[in-house]
Amino acid sequence: MSKYILPVFIIGVIIVGFIKKVPVYDSFVSGVRQSMDLLISILPYFCTILIAVELFSLSGLNKYLEKLLEPVFTALGIPSQLCELLIIRPLSGNGSIALLQSLYLEHGADSYIARCASVIVGASETTFYIATVYFSTVKAHKLRYAIPVSLIASYVGAVVACIVCRYI
């Protein structure tokens, strides 16, 4: 069912647009042009943040942070196997998907660990990507409390996920 939503929606928009005499071709050209401008303003931030993330994960620093935070996470009721995922999740979308895959292979897709991990990935977002990309075209680069609040709220969600998965 859900696989029809996207194509049907796009067909609907184009057909209604055509009936209402919207220049569909010109709209696409202008959309791509906007996307190009967007790309140019995003890329510097994107590149910078990915250099930092790459350094962070390949230097083994994430493993140290994991060890540091493990007692905190286990005290909150989060299994220690999920610590790595919780640290990578706000930094890298692809990284956390890859990690989720390896958790499935290691523990089985229907295990408690795998279910918790699925809920954590499904119910959160790549916070640092959002923080850099959303604000890339405006001058506002002092995000004040936005990042810490997002991280705290996401971790509250993760704790809830581990509790809920135990009972549902």
Partner 1 sequence: MNFVFFLMVAISMIVLTIISPDSAFGVMLSGARKSIELALSLFAIYSIWLSILEIMDKIGLNKQLNKLFKPINKRLFKGESDKALEYISLNLSANLLGMGSAATPMGIKAIESMSDGSEKASDNMALLMVINATSIQLVPATVIGMRLAAGSASASDIILPSLIATAVSTVCGVILSKLCAAISKKLRKYKPQSSAKLNEKDNTLPLASIGKKSKDVSCKAPLYHARGGDK
Residues 128-147 binding partner 1 (CB under 8 A) are 130-131, 133-147
Burial class of 106 by CB neighbour count within 10 A (0 to 12, 13 to 18, 19+)? exposed
Long-range contacts of 71-78 (CB under 8 A, 24+ apart): 76/155, 76/159, 77/159, 77/162, 77/163, 78/116, 78/158, 78/159, 78/162
Residues 26-65 that bind partner 1 (CB under 8 A): 27-28, 30-32, 34-39, 42-43, 46-56, 58-61
d(CA 38, CA 26): 18
Of 83 and 96, nearer to partner 1 (C-beta) is 96
Q: How far is the CB of 71 from partner 1 (least distance, A)?
A: 21
Question: Would you count residue 164 as binding partner 1 (CB under 8 A)?
Answer: yes
Question: Would you count residue 76 as binding partner 1 (CB under 8 A)?
Answer: no
Question: Would you count residue 77 as binding partner 1 (CB under 8 A)?
Answer: no
Question: Would you count residue 154 as binding partner 1 (CB under 8 A)?
Answer: yes
